[in-house]
Amino acid sequence: MLDFLTALRVNNDRQWFGVHKEEYNDIRRQCLEEVGVLIAEIERFDPHLAGVAPEQCVYRIYRDIRFSADKSPYKTHFGVVLGHGGKKCKEAAYYLHIDPDGCAFFSGVWFPEMPVLRFLRRNIYDNLDEFLEIIDSPAFKSEYPGLIGESLKTLPKGYPKDCPRPEIFKMKEFLVQKKYKKSIKYLKKVLETNGEDYIAYYYIYKLYNILIKHEKDETKKEKYLNIANKSLKKSANLGYEKAINQLKREGTKETIRKKRTMW
């Protein structure tokens, strides 16, 4: 997935995409399968996802360019909304942003309608101590720096100027974000909680191969190659079919190289 998105950035045109359409379809099918697994896991503690299909959650790759100065026809990231109704969710939800430059996980309410926003603000105000106990706790702050989202410049009507934590009541949306500056860091974070995630190992292999292509330092290239090979073998050992097939192809390439040196 990340390899494809990286290539798409350089070749964001319909001709290239048409040639690679089947590759995209395979990646999307794989993405839908993984989202299905993720929904099942989240559903264990959040019943709002009951009955939500993966197809409802994953955004299309096609951009709406009718009113945009940027006429690139395709998005270079994958967006996934995990909530009641999927992409049409108007309640609190989870959002996963998958991007070669960095992945991020969001949770909260994105630009709620005004009646809902007023309801949220008032309930937070009436239960402020309990709310602050959550967002100011060391456990929360270790994962999320704080609330993010657009805000008003001044307090909305009905709130005293001297109210505690006024920045909370100025907010027009309530979100938290876990951001990973590099996708490799994100995948390694995934493996800290699930060391058997064969897909994560496979994507680490893919990403390090991209780094090798752009790295001029031979020492670093060798280091990246070792990590890539170990990740591919680990993924194959865990039974991932794509990794097993890739390992076979890599073995074939190595055999050809050895024969050429003999000639």
Q: What is the pLDDT of residues 110-165, one digit of tens each?
A: 999 999 999 999 999 999 999 999 999 988 887 787 899 999 999 999 999 899 99
pLDDT at 259 over 70: no
Q: What pLDDT does 103 receive?
A: 76
How would you list the strands of the sheet with 78-82, edge to edge?
Answer: 78-82, 93-98, 103-109, 174-180
Long-range contacts of 129-133 (CB under 8 A, 24+ apart): 131/168, 132/165
From the list 31, 40, 85, the residue with the least C-alpha distance to 58 is 31
Place 257 in a pLDDT band, splitting at 50, 70 and 90: very low
Distance between CA atoms of residues 177 and 68, nearest Å: 27
For residues 188-210, give the mean pLDDT.
Answer: 78
Distance between CA atoms of residues 171 and 145, nearest Å: 16
Q: Centre a 10 Å sphere on the Cβ of residue 144 and count the other Cβ atoms it contains.
A: 19
Please tell me the pTM assigned to this model. Answer: 0.66
pLDDT at 255 over 50: no
